[in-house]
A and B are shown apart, each in its own frame.
Chain A
Amino acid sequence: MSSQSVVHKGYLSSLRSRLHLDFWTFGSLLIALIVLLPIFAVFYLAMFPTENIWPHLISTVLPGYIKNTLWLMLGVCIGTFIIGTGTAWLVTMCRFPGRRVFEWALLIPLAMPAYVVAYVYTDLLNFSGPVQSLLRETFGWRTPRDYWFPNIRSLGGAISMMVLVLYPYVYLLSRSAFLEQSATMLEASRTLGCSTWQSFLRVGLPIARPSIVVGVVLALMEALNDFGTVDYFAVRTLTAGIFNVWFHMRNLGGGAQIAVVLLIFIVALILIERFARRKKRYHSSTRSIAPPRIHLTGWKAVAAIIACSLPILLGLIIPGAQLVAYSIKFYEASISAGFLTYAKNSLILSATAAVVAVTLGLFLAYAGRLGKGPFLASCLRLVSLGYAVPGAVLAVGILYPFGYFDNLLDAIMFERFGISTGLLFSGSMFILIYAYVARFLALSYGTVEAGLTRIRPNLDGAARTLGRSPSGVLRDVHVPILRGSLGTAAILVFVDTMKELPATLILRPFNFNTLATHVYQYAKDEQIEIAALGSLTIVLVGLIPTILLSYTISQSRSGGKNT
C-alpha cells in the first residue's frame, strides 16, 4: 500500500468515523430539541406577547393563582407525608395481621387519576348524593341550611383527592429508605435509651429524610400537573389559570406568562429533589438487614390495620366500587355515548406514543452509553426534565410553534399552488403524539437507561471485536437483553398517555375525544355515571404497572421472607 493511499484512506475513514460519532450525538440533540422546543416557545411567548397583559395579570388574578397553588402544595405535602411515611413505617417496622398484604396494596391507589377520584367523590358527597341523602333521611333535615356538610368542591377537597392518589409516591420511597436502614442502627438507638417511637423520630425518620423529600417532591409535581381536579372543583391554581387566561380571556401570551410562573415552581421542586438525592447517597447504607419488627397486639394492631386500610379504602375501593357499579348499570348508555370510539382513540394514541417514546428513549440511552462527551450528557439531562413540565405548559408551547408553522405553510402553498394545507400538524393527532412523547420520554429513557447500566460494558467490547458496528451491538446484544425493560418502559408511557388530560384537552383535534377527555366532558356535565365505564377503563389499564410494581415489592427480600 503506498503511503499516499494510506493517507487518503485515513482521511476518508476519519471523516466517516467523525460522522459516525456525530450520528448518535446529532440524533440525541434532535430528540432533546423535541423536549426543549415547547419550553422555548413558552418563554418566547411570555417575553414577547402580542398583547401584554402581564401588568393586568399581576394586579388581578395572578396573586390568587399563586396563593391557591401554594396552599394546594402545602396540603398535598403534609397529607402525603403523614399517610406515606406513616403507613411505610407501620409495614416495615411493625408486625400485625395483614401487614404483607398492605405492603403491596398501599401502592395501588397510584393507579387512580386524581380527576376520576374527584368526580366519584363529588357524586357521592354532594347535596343529592347518597351520603347527604342518608344523613337527611336519618335526621329529618330538609335543606342545606339545616345542617353543615363540608363542600367537596373546594381547595380542601382538591387537596384530599390528590393526597388519596399521590401518597403512594411517598410511601414507596420512604418504605425502601426504612428497609435500607440497618437493624443495628435502630438497635443502637434503643440501647442508648430511646423508645421505639423515639428511635423512629430521632434515627429512622432523619435518615430516611432525603428519600421522603424525593417522594413528596414527586407528589407535588403531579399535583402541579393536575388540571382535571382543580378545574372541576373550580380551585384557581396556576394550571387552571393557564386554561382560564387562554380560553376565556383568549390571550395566549398571558397563558404563557402564567406557564412561566408555574415553571418557576417546578424548577424549585427539581432543585429540592436534586439536593435531596445527593444527600441520599451519603445517607444510605449498603448493608441492609431487615429491621426487627415490633409485634403489635390488641388495640395497637387494630389501629395499625385501620391506619393502613383507610388510604386503600378511600383511594381505591370506594371510588373503584362506585365506578364498577355505574359501569354495569349504565353500560348501554356508555356504549351509545361513544365509549368504543374513544377507547379506540386512546388505544391508538397511547400505543403510538409508547412505541415512539421507547424507540427514542432507547436511542438516547444507548447514545449515552457510547458516551460521546459532555455535550451529549447535557442533552440527556435536559430530556429527563421533560417529565417535570406540566402538560398544560407543554401544550401551550407546542400549539404555538406548530400553529405558526401550519399557517405559514398554508399561506405559501396557497400563494404558490392554490392549495390550502390547513392545520397540517396542529389540527392532527401528530401534535398529540408529540406532546405525549415530549412529556413521557424521560420515563422511557430512565427505564431503558436503568436496564442498560445493568449490562456489563465488556459485552459491548466483545460484540464490537466480533464484528458488530455500534448499531449492530444495539440490535444483537442490548435489545434482546433489554426486552423486559423495553416492555416496562412501553407500559409506563402507554398508561400515562391514557391518563393524560390537560395537554390532550388543549391539543386534540376538533371533535376528537380520548377516554380521558370523554370522562372530563361528561363529568363536567354532571353525568359521571355515563363516563364511569371510561374512567374504569383508565383505572384498570393504570393498574397494570402498579400491580407489576407491587409484585416486585411483595417478592422483595423483606416482604418475602420476614414475617
Chain B
Amino acid sequence: MKPLDTGLELKSIRHSFDNREILKGVSIGAQAGELVCLLGSSGSGKSTLLRLAAGLEPIQEGKITIGGSLVAEPGFQLPPEKRGVGLMFQDFALFPHISVIQNVMFGLRHLSTQDAQARAVRLLERVGMADYQKAYPHTLSGGQQQRVALARALAPEPRVMLLDEPFSGLDTTLRAQVREETAHVLRERGVATLLVTHDPEEAMAMADRIKILGADGRLRQSGTPDEVYFRPADTFVAGLFGPINRLSGYVEHGYVPTPLGRVPAPGHPDGAPVQILVRPEGLKIGVAGGVLVDLISVRQLGVTKEITLRPCDDEVGLCPMQELYKARILGPMHPVAEGKHRVAIDPDLAFVFPG
C-alpha cells in the first residue's frame, strides 16, 4: 500500500486490554477530504482505534502516520497536543465552565485574542450557532451542542478529524440533518475524517468508504457503501444492514434450491453446502413462475411495506407451519393484500456463502 501523504493512516494496529486482544492487525486510513467510516458493534475496539489515532491511548503494536510523518509506533508517542488532530466525542465533551465562544477559542491559543475570536465567530456562523456565543453549554440542546463541538474541533484547522459516534446522542429527526451538514463542512475543508459508528445506516449515509470491524478485532471488509451493501464479503457483513433472510442448502448444477426458489451459485462446486442471505427487498412479489407463498401480514412502515410470508408446500396451496421470511417493498407502488402470491429471489440481493 502506498503511504498516504495527505491524511491519516493506521497500520497493522494490535491492541490488548488486560490480556484480551481487541484489535488484531487493523489497518485503516483516510485521505484529505475523504470521509471513512469504521463500522462495528459496540465493544469491538472502534473507539480505541480513534483514541490511538488521537494519541490518548499509548500504542502497543503498529504504526500511525499523519500527513506522511510518523506520530506513533511502539516506544514513540507524539502527545495529542502535537498531532493536529480534531476529536469529537459521543457526549460532545464541551467544557462546562466556559461559554460557547470560549469553547471554540480553546484550541486557538497560538492566535491573538482578536484573531481567535474572529475565527471562532466565523466557525460558529458556519454551523449556525453565532447567536449563542455567550451561552453556556448546559443551556444548549443536544443538536446545538453537537454543532458547537464541531466548530470547536475544526477551529485549529486540524488535518485529521476523528468522530466517535458523534450523532448517537441526537434524536432521529435531528440526526439525519446534522449528519449531512457535518459531512458537508468536513469535505468542504478537505479534512481527512475517520468516523466510528455502530449504526450501519449512518455509515452508509456519510461515508466515502466503509470499513467493517468484526467482533473478533479484525477488519471484515472495506469498500464503498455500494460495495459493502451489494457485495458483502461474508455473512457477518451481509447481516449488518438490517434484518435479512437466512436460507441454506446444497449446490446442484450451479444453483441452490431453496423453499423460496432457485438461487444461482456461481463459483460454488456442486454438492457443496451453502448459506444464502437474501435482503428483504430481494424477495420480489407477484412474479409469474415464482414460488407460491402465503403473505401472513403486510405492515406499512413509512414509505415501505414490510411483509411476513411463509412458503406453501405445493401448487394446491397447503401451507404447513414453516419458517417465516420477510420481504420489503416500496409501499404506494404495490398494493399488496394478504393471501397467496408468487415470489422470486432477486439474485443481485441474494448472497451465497460456503456453509
Contact surface of A with B, Cβ cutoff 8 Å: 1, 6, 10-11, 13-14, 17, 20, 456, 458-469, 472, 476-477, 480-481
Contacts and interface: CB of A to CB of B under 8 A. Distances in A.
Given A1-B69, A481-B97, A462 B89 contact: yes
A461 B69 contact: no
A458 B93 contact: yes
Contact of A464 (B54, B76, B77, B94): B54
A468 B81 contact: yes
A462 to B, nearest CB: 4
Interface string B76-107: 11111101011101110111111000000011
Given A456-B93, A477-B95, A464 B80 contact: yes
A465 B81 contact: yes
Contact of A10 (B75, B109, B155): B75
A110 B69 CA distance: 61
Contacts of B70: 6, 10
Interface residues of B, number: 36
B304 to A, nearest CB: 37
Contacts of B78: 13
Interface of B: 51, 54-56, 69-70, 73, 75-81, 83, 85-87, 89-91, 93-98, 106-107, 109-110, 152-153, 155-156, 158
A480 B106 contact: no
Contacts of B109: 467
B81 A467 contact: yes
A465 B76 contact: no
Contacts of A465: 54-56, 80-81, 83, 85-87, 107, 153, 158
Which of A6, A17, A480 gathers the greatest number of chain B CB atoms within 10 Å? A17
A464 B93 CA distance: 12
Contact of B89 (A11, A461, A468): A461
B49 to A, nearest CB: 14
Contacts of B90: 458
B46 to A, nearest CB: 15
B89 A458 contact: yes
Contacts of B155: 466
A459 B95 contact: yes
B77 A469 contact: no
A190 B191 CA distance: 65
14 contacts: A6-B70, A10-B73, A10-B76, A14-B75, A17-B76, A456-B91, A464-B80, A465-B55, A467-B109, A469-B79, A469-B81, A472-B81, A477-B95, A480-B97
A462 B81 contact: no
Given A10-B73, A10-B75, A459-B93, A464 B51 contact: no
Nearest to B149: A462
Nearest to A10: B76
Nearest to B74: A14
A468 B87 CA distance: 13
Contacts of B76: 10-11, 13-14, 17
A263 B109 CA distance: 52
Contacts of B77: 13-14, 17
Contacts of B54: 461, 464-465
Contacts of A459: 93, 95
Contact of B79 (A10, A463, A464, A480): A464
Nearest to B85: A465
B89 to A, nearest CB: 4
A24 to B, nearest CB: 13
A245 B155 CA distance: 68
Given A10-B76, A465-B87, 10 more contacts: A6-B69, A10-B70, A14-B75, A14-B77, A458-B90, A459-B95, A461-B80, A461-B89, A462-B87, A476-B106
B81 A461 contact: no
A482 to B, nearest CB: 9
B280 to A, nearest CB: 38
B76 to A, nearest CB: 4
Contacts of A14: 75-77
A10 B72 CA distance: 9
Contact of A481 (B80, B96, B153, B156): B96
Contacts of A472: 81
Given A17-B79, A459-B95, A461-B54, A466 B73 contact: no
Nearest to B57: A461
Nearest to A464: B80
Nearest to A478: B97
A461 B75 contact: no
Contacts of B107: 465-467
Contacts of B69: 1, 6
Complex A-B, nearest 5 residue pairs according to Cβ-Cβ distance, in ascending order: A466-B107, A458-B93, A464-B80, A10-B76, A462-B93
Nearest to A458: B93
A14 B79 CA distance: 10
A295 B45 CA distance: 56
A10 to B, nearest CB: 4
Which of B73, B93, B94 gathers the greatest number of chain A CB atoms within 10 Å? B93
Contacts of B97: 477, 480-481
Contacts of B153: 465-466
A315 B310 CA distance: 81
B95 A461 contact: no
B328 to A, nearest CB: 38
